[in-house]
Structure 1
């Protein structure tokens, strides 16, 4: 999958997740919706078949799977990071009183207090 396709899927996930959260607040959402969106991206990015020699050790199998998955997953994470950066830059440009870093710090504090 090309980088532009990954970014398009990431934007779709972020957009749909925002809608999903709004639906959840009204009690109309299910966890399956979010999992389906992310699952579709992962399925499109990651190959479902790996070539491993018949005499491969369990470590060789794990290495083959890890090697095949690392690049596509890195692309997905990079896509989410790039989308966040663009969204944060846009937010910070229009609302300098509450920066994206402030929002993230507040989120981190709320999450850590829930543990």
Structure 2
């Protein structure tokens, strides 16, 4: 899965989690605490590679194979969550009260879409967009 697609999925999870939190606050009864788990599970199932391990593989071989195969997917997920966190934190730290977290996530999703539509995902090279150039 391309990094821009992983980022869009992460943004979807964060957006849905924010909406669930708002609903829980309005309903004063909570909400479905497990609902977020299913979208995270879906994301993991889609991003984690399927690994074929031979029955006679040693523990060391299994560890090496799993580390190599899963490491890239974990790096993509951590990168996407980190990028979203940084974007949200920058707006928070700037004190811009008229910009909501939903606005920040929507902007980030649009930029991720532009990167995926643009092809290679290397960014435009002007340094203006910050960390998302490394998508």
Q: TM-score by structure 2 length? A: 0.61
How far residue 95 of structure 1 moved from its aligned partner, in angstroms, is 4.2
Between the two structures, name the one with larger relative contact order (CA 8 Å, sep ≥ 6): 2
Q: Deviations over 1:24-72 (max 9, x none)?
A: 333252222110111111111002x313333211332233223211110
| CA distance in 1 between partners of 2:72 and 2:33 (Å) | 27
Q: Does 1:30 align with 2:32?
A: yes
Q: CA deviation at 1:15?
A: 0.6
* Structure 2 Cα separation of the partners of residues 31 and 8 of structure 1: 22
Aligned to 2:132: none
1:4 alignment partner in structure 2: 4
Query: Cα RMSD over matched residues?
Result: 2.0
Answer yes or no: is the 8 Å Cα contact 1:50–1:68 preserved in 2.
yes
Q: Which moved more, 1:38-47 or 1:85-94?
A: 85-94
Counterpart of 2:19 in structure 1 is 19
Deviates more, 1:83-92 or 1:52-61: 52-61
Task: Pick closer, same or farther for the CA change 1:65–1:28 going to 2, 3 Å.
Answer: same
Question: What's the counterpart of residue 60 of structure 1?
Answer: 61
Distance 2:21 2:54 in 1: 45
- Show the counterpart of 1:105: none
Alignment length (residue pairs): 95
Gaps of 5+ in 2: 98-135
Structure 1's unaligned 5+ residue stretches are 97-115
